[in-house]
Chain A
Amino acid sequence: MHRSALLLRRHLVLNPSSRTLAYTVRSRSYSSTPPKPSLLLQYCPWSSAFRGSLGARAFLQAIAYSLIIVGGLQYANIERSVSPNLETTQYGSVEDVKKAIEELRVAFNDPQAVATDPESLKIYGSSEHSYHPISPHAVIVRPKSTDDVVKVVNIARRYRVPIVPYSGATSLEGHFSGHPTGSICLDMSKMDEILKINVDDSDLTCQSGARWEDINQTLKNRGIPLFFPLDPGPGATIGGMIGTGCSGTNAVRYGTARSEWFLNLTVVLPDGSVVKTRRRARKSAAGFDTTKLFIGAEGTLGIVTEVTLRLTPVLPTKVAMAQFPNVQNAVSAVQEILNSTQGPHIQCIELLDDHMMGAINDAGFVDNPYPVKDTLFFKIQGDSKSIKETSKVVNEVIKRHSGSNFKFASTDAEADEMWLNRKYCLMSSIAANPGHRCWTTDVCVPVSRLPQLVQETKEDLASHNLRSTIVGHVGDGNFHALILFKNEEELKHVEEAVHRLVHRALALDGTCTGEHGVGLGKKQYLTEELGEETVELMRKIKRTVDPFNILNPGKLYPNKRDS
């Protein structure tokens, strides 16, 4: 660029005759010499009436031309990268990516912080639990502070290299897979500190790479009778939970990440600026809450570096289970229990179908095998008296819905084991079926539609000879069918079955994802679920906040041509 600009500039300095303006001005000055040229012409370096030295003329012309050239190139550059469609963004070339990596190395000056070994790049760009197309990253960067993240964002923007935020790597829809043009994987795992615990305000400030289990363990170790109630997959981090808008088994009692558990976030925006979305008060009506903009945005709008989250008192709990003749009975019992006055004492209520119970037995994680029947797991909270009262009501409701064997875990150890079995359903399903892999599905419908959805899904899977286990957060209308497969051919059948399952959920006024997020896997359903206008509003916000489409491109927002 520089050389051509120089040549062009020199050419213009030496050949003003190529400029119409200079030509007309000169010819006029030859035909008749005006007594006094106008002031404008006296200061115009292209005019023959210019009142300055030749050097000044050349100097001014050069300034003008260079402004035009540099400005023009810059303008063209912006035009090229800010395209109206998210899918046609131009990213940096292989060379640019290399330069960006070099600059990252210089900026961090720590071999641990910037990694490019092919093995890691591949591992960080793929997940063994999802089956979406994967690509490795170009580089992994491990920031230690918000400032580090700003550095990375600025470098990425300069070279137009996509950034993919990464932390717990437990997500299931390809959220952290690499970008084909080469991406910076921003591994937040070094930012996992708890910065401050305010017991009196029941809140806590931590970095986004902190794991929810570690937070609860720390609180327990310090004898603080509070906990953070969102409980997604083991190993999930706070940043990832925000990005996904996750939930877990406790959602029945405590809601999801979209509720009021995140008091504020510190976020690095794509332009490199750092914002803190709110202060630490528990409530605020100061405009729409920008915190919520980043919850569920899957790292496409900003990178969360610090979080204040709200805690809740630890209450005594007891775990119980009951068996049902079929899923319908179980689900209708759940509805009645939750709408009763005892509802608030139910912390969790989980459905495991007969296949799942069989898998747990087969996996060999339990001493005494469970009955192989559709089963509800309950976690009831409260003091011993209210637990007793609640269980009485629950037992009555269960009996009314043809359930049986309502039984508490006799010891805490047994309760923990029971709950652990629920939390490790994915592992059990795989362990019980050696040689199989497992596709975890995730749809959610209004609670009353759940029996129909589960019934039809089970029939559909059976008719296609697909083996699956079912676990469901039935209290929320959310369930996961874990569909097993051995080879590529079966994978194809699974894919089709998942497709049908999602459509079934959408037809019942539900969603394609209850808690796992969109990522790559669910993009195609978003327009059908939310409508083109809503999706376009989301895209509009994405384009406004991230005009260069640097943050986690290719995820979440469906392409326009798909719809």
Chain B
Amino acid sequence: MASIQALQRICTRRSVTLALSRASARPYTRHFSQTFKRFSESGQGNNPPKSSPTLANLGIAVAGGVVGVIAYSSFDRLEELKTLFLHPKPKSKYGSPEDFAKAIEDLRQLLPSEDVSTNPDDLLVHGFSPNDHHPACSPSVVVYPRSTKDVVKIVKIASKYRMPVIPYSGATSLEGQFRGHETGGICVDMNHMDSILEIHEADSDIVCQPATRWMDINETLKEKGIPLFWPIDPAPGATIGGMLSTGCSGTNAVRYGTAKGEWFLNATVVLPSGEVIKTRRRSRKSSAGFDVTKLFIGAEGTLGIVTEVTIRLAPVLPTTVAVAQFPDVRSATSAVTEVLNSGVGIQCVELVDDVFMKATNKYGMSKRKWAEKDSLFFKFQGPSQGSLKETAEVVKRIVRKHGATGFELARTKEEADELWSDRKNAHYSGLALIPGAKGWPTDVCVPVSKLPELVAETKKDLEEIGLLSTIVGHVGDGNFHALILFENDEEFERAQGAVHRMVRRAIALDGTCTGEHGVGIGKRKYLVEELGAGTVQLMKTIKKAVDPLDLFNPGKLYPDDEELPGTKGDPSSKS
């Protein structure tokens, strides 16, 4: 009732306004009726309206307005339309070859000449890795900064000339993380920044530069008689900066966790804007907001270049090594679960399969002839020899219960080192299986209980396609690597298919496409399936906010927009 009255009121008011506007709109009305007459004479207006044309038009106009409003509100994809019409095909967001030439000139002016290299050999080395199978792509120039200030200079030049920046240090990564960009770019080789700056024994932390190698840190601590060590142990040769950016781990992850834990207390980072930030101070804990340090861990150099790091250390404990053989992977895995839940001191527990043991025998570096069976390598840790012995007892009892057929405990430190080196030589002994073959190191991770299923299916798959592979796994974390061997392009293709199926299988088991090697180029395509479009969009939103020009390691980590189904651009565009 009330609404009808309101409508009537509006209508009355409308006619008043109409009358007023008519008076002032005379020339226009005349013009309109003339046009109208012309149309009707030419036979286009078949039904001349009987009432005043203006009134009829008013109704039509209101209808038009309503259509307009509806049209607007359905413009959900306004942003996309805008980019489509206003910038149909944006030119490359990066600079031209001339720009890059100018950038290199600028770099030469700002940095000592020996720190800027365009030597073709240098470029080749920095855009290629023998450890992965992505096509080589060289940068336009390699620079060797010596300080945070140098990095700032480089970043400023890069953003001036819109030139991609690719950080580089240990070059041990396996997913093409340091590959050059197709348009060219600056490879920032951090290797001149490899000093340990401060050691705080009482706080168990050290401050170092990003190209410091983790093995060098541990060696230095040992030489200085400091009973502390850095427990994250990826491939030999890996640097702290690369480890941070990959979000790596290693065999010690069972006991000490990964790079995503609390081992990095703070990082000094050069942002794409050229600003330098220090993410946190040196205290062991802080609740001062979300931890910005964590933003750069696993970001693969896409959000900033790390130039200084404070890392936490742990006390060195006596360790020893034992090896046990199992009838199959399932019984080995269930033994591991029980061992870990018993709470005894386990620093590492590594699964290797029968093929691996065969390879180790064949490789010939080992002093032993191993039983060619699925096996577990344990590294025990404890404060004293007594406690190590006790741990060994407990583990022996548990593995027996799960059907272990052998249990060999190292009697001396030398023996322990020997046993462990058999595990550490995995990559080379695996390759020795077929002389001249190349290996594809894979890396998936699932909840521990799903590991037997994953390993069994993967082995079956590889067998079916006739490819040989050795398997080593950080079984305590549910992470494993199958080193798939191939000799020619046809086999390489088959291997590719197998890796693809393996990743899909891991994701289906609530796992991840990469346990510790990172995304780089190789795993980008799996990210949406694993994390969901929303999470990937969130990551991209952050990337866009921090690096709006997309200069830092472009083409890595983030899937392309086309691969994101069901999300409508930037969340900020919605309201």
A binding-site residues for B, Cβ under 8 Å: 3, 5-7, 9-11, 13-17, 26, 48, 50-67, 70-71, 74, 78, 82, 157, 198, 200-203, 225-226, 244-247, 251, 255-256, 258-260, 269-290, 292-298, 301, 313-315, 335, 338-345, 381-383, 385-386, 389-390, 393, 442, 444-448, 476-478, 506, 509-518, 522, 526, 529-531, 533-534, 536-538, 540-541, 543-545, 547-548, 556-557
Residues of B within 8 A of A11 (CB): 21
Contact among A282, A289, A534, A540 with B279 in the assembled complex (CB-CB below 8 Å): A534
Question: Is B507 in contact with A445, judged by CB distance below 8 angstroms?
Answer: no
Question: Is B57 in contact with A288, judged by CB distance below 8 angstroms?
Answer: no
Residues of B within 8 A of A517 (CB): 287
Question: Is A54 in contact with B288, judged by CB distance below 8 angstroms?
Answer: no
With A53-B39, A512-B288 already in contact, the answer to whether A58 and B205 are too (CB < 8 A) is no
Question: Is A54 in contact with B25, judged by CB distance below 8 angstroms?
Answer: no
| Alpha-carbon distance between A116 and B464 when the two chains are bound, in angstroms | 66
Contact among B203, B284, B300 with A287 in the assembled complex (CB-CB below 8 Å): B300
Contact among B202, B290, B518 with A335 in the assembled complex (CB-CB below 8 Å): B202
The verdict on B477 contacting chain A, using a C-beta distance below 8 Å, is: yes
Question: Is A514 in contact with B247, judged by CB distance below 8 angstroms?
Answer: no
Residues of B within 8 A of A274 (CB): 534
Contact among A3, A198, A297 with B290 in the assembled complex (CB-CB below 8 Å): A297
Contact among A245, A287, A545 with B287 in the assembled complex (CB-CB below 8 Å): A245
Best-buried of B275, B515, B535, B574 by chain A (most CB within 10 Å): B535
Q: In whole Å, how far is B517's beta carbon from the nearest beta carbon of chain A? A: 6
Residues of A within 8 A of B318 (CB): 341
| Alpha-carbon distance between A511 and B203 when the two chains are bound, in angstroms | 15
| Alpha-carbon distance between A104 and B178 when the two chains are bound, in angstroms | 51
Residues of A within 8 A of B66 (CB): 66
Residues of A within 8 A of B542 (CB): 293, 541, 544-545
A448 nearest CB neighbor, chain B only: B202
| Alpha-carbon distance between A445 and B285 when the two chains are bound, in angstroms | 8
Per-residue CB proximity of B499-526 to A under 8 Å, as 1/0? 0000000110011111111110001001
With A278-B512, A284-B512, A287-B519 already in contact, the answer to whether A269 and B534 are too (CB < 8 A) is yes
B381 nearest CB neighbor, chain A only: A344
**Ranked 3 nearest A-B pairs via Cβ:** A62-B64, A66-B68, A200-B449
The verdict on B447 contacting chain A, using a C-beta distance below 8 Å, is: yes
Q: In whole Å, how far is A550's beta carbon from the nearest beta carbon of chain B? A: 11
Contact among B204, B278, B381 with A339 in the assembled complex (CB-CB below 8 Å): B204
Residues of A within 8 A of B516 (CB): 283, 285
Per-residue CB proximity of B265-306 to A under 8 Å, as 1/0? 000000100011111111111111111101111111001000
Per-residue CB proximity of B394-406 to A under 8 Å, as 1/0? 0000000000000
Question: Is B36 in contact with A538, judged by CB distance below 8 angstroms?
Answer: no
Q: A201-B449, A285-B517 are in contact. List 18 more A-B contacts (CB 8 A).
A: A66-B68, A74-B72, A201-B448, A259-B261, A277-B531, A283-B445, A285-B249, A287-B247, A295-B294, A314-B343, A444-B285, A447-B203, A476-B285, A513-B288, A530-B278, A530-B280, A541-B545, A545-B571
With A512-B288, A526-B288 already in contact, the answer to whether A386 and B387 are too (CB < 8 A) is yes
Contact among A9, A66, A383 with B72 in the assembled complex (CB-CB below 8 Å): A66
Q: In whole Å, how far is A466's beta carbon from the nearest beta carbon of chain B? A: 24
Question: Is A510 in contact with B253, judged by CB distance below 8 angstroms?
Answer: no
| Alpha-carbon distance between A94 and B556 when the two chains are bound, in angstroms | 48
Question: Is B262 in contact with A258, judged by CB distance below 8 angstroms?
Answer: yes
Contact among B289, B337, B545 with A540 in the assembled complex (CB-CB below 8 Å): B545
Question: Is A244 in contact with B515, judged by CB distance below 8 angstroms?
Answer: no
Q: In whole Å, how far is B448's beta carbon from the nearest beta carbon of chain A? A: 5
| Alpha-carbon distance between A245 and B36 when the two chains are bound, in angstroms | 73
Q: In whole Å, how far is B147's beta carbon from the nearest beta carbon of chain A? A: 18
| Alpha-carbon distance between A65 and B39 when the two chains are bound, in angstroms | 24
Contact among B295, B383, B532, B558 with A275 in the assembled complex (CB-CB below 8 Å): B532
| Alpha-carbon distance between A340 and B383 when the two chains are bound, in angstroms | 8
Q: In whole Å, how far is A537's beta carbon from the nearest beta carbon of chain B? A: 6
The verdict on B390 contacting chain A, using a C-beta distance below 8 Å, is: yes
Question: Is A256 in contact with B477, judged by CB distance below 8 angstroms?
Answer: no
Contact among B54, B287, B289, B449 with A514 in the assembled complex (CB-CB below 8 Å): B287
Q: In whole Å, how far is B44's beta carbon from the nearest beta carbon of chain A? A: 7
Contact among B280, B291, B515 with A284 in the assembled complex (CB-CB below 8 Å): B515
| Alpha-carbon distance between A516 and B289 when the two chains are bound, in angstroms | 10
With A282-B445, A344-B345, A513-B286 already in contact, the answer to whether A288 and B296 are too (CB < 8 A) is yes
Residues of A within 8 A of B28 (CB): 14-17
Residues of A within 8 A of B448 (CB): 200-202, 282
Question: Is B384 in contact with A389, judged by CB distance below 8 angstroms?
Answer: yes
| Alpha-carbon distance between A439 and B65 when the two chains are bound, in angstroms | 61
Residues of A within 8 A of B64 (CB): 58-63, 66
Question: Is B298 in contact with A511, judged by CB distance below 8 angstroms?
Answer: no
Q: Can you name 12 A-B residue pairings with CB atoms under 8 Å?
A: A58-B61, A271-B574, A279-B531, A285-B298, A286-B298, A313-B342, A339-B315, A342-B383, A345-B383, A389-B384, A510-B282, A545-B542
| Alpha-carbon distance between A547 and B572 when the two chains are bound, in angstroms | 6
Question: Is A447 in contact with B284, judged by CB distance below 8 angstroms?
Answer: yes
Q: In whole Å, how far is B35's beta carbon from the nearest beta carbon of chain A? A: 6
Best-buried of B445, B507, B531 by chain A (most CB within 10 Å): B531
B334 nearest CB neighbor, chain A only: A200
With A245-B290, A509-B282, A530-B280 already in contact, the answer to whether A59 and B248 are too (CB < 8 A) is no
Residues of B within 8 A of A157 (CB): 575
With A292-B291, A545-B538 already in contact, the answer to whether A477 and B283 are too (CB < 8 A) is yes
| Alpha-carbon distance between A477 and B283 when the two chains are bound, in angstroms | 7
Question: Is B58 in contact with A288, judged by CB distance below 8 angstroms?
Answer: no
Per-residue CB proximity of B536-558 to A under 8 Å, as 1/0? 01110110111000000000011
| Alpha-carbon distance between A3 and B258 when the two chains are bound, in angstroms | 62
Q: In whole Å, how far is A335's beta carbon from the nearest beta carbon of chain B? A: 6
Per-residue CB proximity of B252-264 to A under 8 Å, as 1/0? 0100011011100
The verdict on B382 contacting chain A, using a C-beta distance below 8 Å, is: yes
| Alpha-carbon distance between A448 and B27 when the two chains are bound, in angstroms | 90
| Alpha-carbon distance between A3 and B39 when the two chains are bound, in angstroms | 33
Question: Is B514 in contact with A286, judged by CB distance below 8 angstroms?
Answer: yes
Question: Is A284 in contact with B383, judged by CB distance below 8 angstroms?
Answer: no
Question: Is B519 in contact with A446, judged by CB distance below 8 angstroms?
Answer: no
Contact among A245, A446, A476, A522 with B200 in the assembled complex (CB-CB below 8 Å): A446
Q: In whole Å, how far is B131's beta carbon from the nearest beta carbon of chain A? A: 16
The verdict on B67 contacting chain A, using a C-beta distance below 8 Å, is: yes
Question: Is A341 in contact with B383, judged by CB distance below 8 angstroms?
Answer: yes
With A61-B61, A286-B527 already in contact, the answer to whether A510 and B515 are too (CB < 8 A) is no
B203 nearest CB neighbor, chain A only: A446
Contact among B21, B65, B262, B278 with A534 in the assembled complex (CB-CB below 8 Å): B278
| Alpha-carbon distance between A256 and B263 when the two chains are bound, in angstroms | 12
Residues of B within 8 A of A382 (CB): 343
Question: Is A343 in contact with B291, judged by CB distance below 8 angstroms?
Answer: no
| Alpha-carbon distance between A200 and B445 when the two chains are bound, in angstroms | 15
Residues of B within 8 A of A288 (CB): 247, 294-299, 303, 539
With A339-B228, A529-B288 already in contact, the answer to whether A58 and B58 are too (CB < 8 A) is yes
Residues of A within 8 A of B227 (CB): 339, 341
Residues of B within 8 A of A62 (CB): 60-65, 67-68
| Alpha-carbon distance between A538 and B546 when the two chains are bound, in angstroms | 10
Question: Is A343 in contact with B315, judged by CB distance below 8 angstroms?
Answer: yes
Contact among B228, B283, B299 with A511 in the assembled complex (CB-CB below 8 Å): B283
Best-buried of A273, A381, A512 by chain B (most CB within 10 Å): A273
Residues of A within 8 A of B449 (CB): 198, 200-201
Q: In whole Å, how far is B444's beta carbon from the nearest beta carbon of chain A? A: 8
Best-buried of B27, B69, B285 by chain A (most CB within 10 Å): B285
Question: Is A386 in contact with B341, judged by CB distance below 8 angstroms?
Answer: no
Residues of B within 8 A of A531 (CB): 277-278
Question: Is B72 in contact with A71, judged by CB distance below 8 angstroms?
Answer: yes
| Alpha-carbon distance between A442 and B286 when the two chains are bound, in angstroms | 10
Q: In whole Å, how far is B520's beta carbon from the nearest beta carbon of chain A? A: 10
List B residues 23-67 near A (Cβ within 8 Å): 24-25, 27-28, 31-32, 35-36, 39, 44-45, 53-54, 56-58, 60-67
